[in-house]
Chain A
């Protein structure tokens, strides 16, 4: 060390001038409940199970989302559509039970990517806090969108995704 370094003082004063400068600088804190940061349009939050335009569930309980899920957060039970239920379910098979454990979920979006029916999407909503672990297991009551309160997922269907879905493999889905 040189003499100036070994007496510490120049370095100390330099450091103190930096902290003093920051003392008067603009603060980066966001006062959370009152002030909220804008979310990215493609933020991955709480899932939604989409209905089609006639209000029928798109999910056919194929199980691809559950298979693709890295933390294995999705469980489902498939059932066969009975006659007279055509207004409820789009195809012959549907998910009688569809559960996502929000404590396991890592919000990677693989389920959305795996879904051949465009039934599951991640949205920019957040999973609210709960007191019980069991409350974090979301069933169909919380996941399926309501016809009078549809969830907009157009932001997640980017051009690249739409291009990909034009593949004739997916034509049956339109």
Chain B
């Protein structure tokens, strides 16, 4: 029986890993299509039907490019940078509950690779380590623009992680657990957290944009000022890893937002349909993916709408608006818990 559990987890691991890579791959295609549509263009449509083979063409192009490691760079750290970015991006999805329980041969298996009782903290740890990829890569390039970008990434991370953490504290107070599966179960029993914590959700969403280095907070890569920032000196698949890690991060962030605030795999009114438990589980997973894809769309939608913040505006927003708001949110949540 332990063996069965092990095999199931291994299969689940591979499936989730594959899905996150495929989703990230097609996010690049989606990004270009959405950007094009919002600018009244058609976007890539030459490679394959509707341009669906475009990500493959991009990947082949990346692999074929010449691999350059600058002479003045710190080689070990230069290679470590994109590796960390990619590794941490892939690791975060381990604690996300992708669905309920599947019953196979009389035994119930959870669609979650690791149900850590500190799930949220694990997600935070991984996202924070991911910024090291940018910092190390930027520093090791021995290029002033890359270094500036690394500094920006570090300070942006500090100022936004704080507000994000405070928003999450209010969420934890309302749900009473750090485990992601407990939070989903709590939402299944009651209301979705977005209705309980609207302010917290807003803060979390804004900080999620900052954490994934997406517009309007893409200060670290900022083509116009920093020539691409931390990945200026990178070429070939190392650059590909950085860009790809961003899309995986976006996928994972969308999954975390859906799980924390939008009920995860919970579908309202699914219990009253009288379906078998396995069907309910699979439908729930599909519904989770619909939520995730919607948030990926929101990420892109915002990117192609808003201009980039200036750096002082970014810091002002982080420290003077989001942090006090998050603290206010905690106070309100605490008061509500005390009173009701």
Where the two chains meet, the residues of A that have a C-beta atom closer than 8 Å to any C-beta of B are: 7-8, 12, 15-16, 18-20, 22-23, 25-29, 31
Whether B125 sits at the interface, judged by CB under 8 Å, is: no
Contact A27 B40 (CB under 8 A): yes
Contact B40 A19 (CB under 8 A): no
- Which bracket fits the contact residues of B? 10 to 19
Partner of A23, one of B37, B42, B306, B317: B37
Bound together, the chains give a CA A23 to CA B304 distance in angstroms of 11
In the complex, what's the smallest C-beta–C-beta distance from B2 to chain A, in angstroms? 50
5 closest A-B pairs by CB: A29-B42, A19-B305, A19-B38, A15-B305, A23-B37
Whether B34 sits at the interface, judged by CB under 8 Å, is: yes
Partner of A22, one of B38, B42, B306: B38
Bound together, the chains give a CA A19 to CA B321 distance in angstroms of 26
Where the two chains meet, the residues of B that have a C-beta atom closer than 8 Å to any C-beta of A are: 34, 37-42, 301-302, 304-306, 317, 321
Bound together, the chains give a CA A96 to CA B304 distance in angstroms of 59
Set of chain A residues within 8 Å of B40, measured between Cβ atoms: 22, 25-29
Set of chain B residues within 8 Å of A26, measured between Cβ atoms: 40
Which of A15, A23, A28 has its CB near the most chain B CB atoms (within 10 A)? A23
Contact B301 A16 (CB under 8 A): yes
Contact B305 A27 (CB under 8 A): no
Closest to B202 in A: A9
Q: A12-B306, A15-B306, A22-B37 are in contact. Are A27 and B301 (CB under 8 A)?
A: no
Contact A19 B42 (CB under 8 A): no
Set of chain A residues within 8 Å of B42, measured between Cβ atoms: 27, 29, 31
Closest to B316 in A: A6
Set of chain B residues within 8 Å of A16, measured between Cβ atoms: 301-302, 305
Contact B41 A20 (CB under 8 A): no
Contact A29 B41 (CB under 8 A): yes
In the complex, what's the smallest C-beta–C-beta distance from A8 to chain B, in angstroms? 8
14 A-B Cβ contacts within 8 A?
A: A12-B302, A12-B305, A16-B301, A18-B305, A19-B38, A19-B304, A20-B38, A20-B301, A22-B39, A23-B38, A25-B40, A27-B42, A28-B41, A29-B41
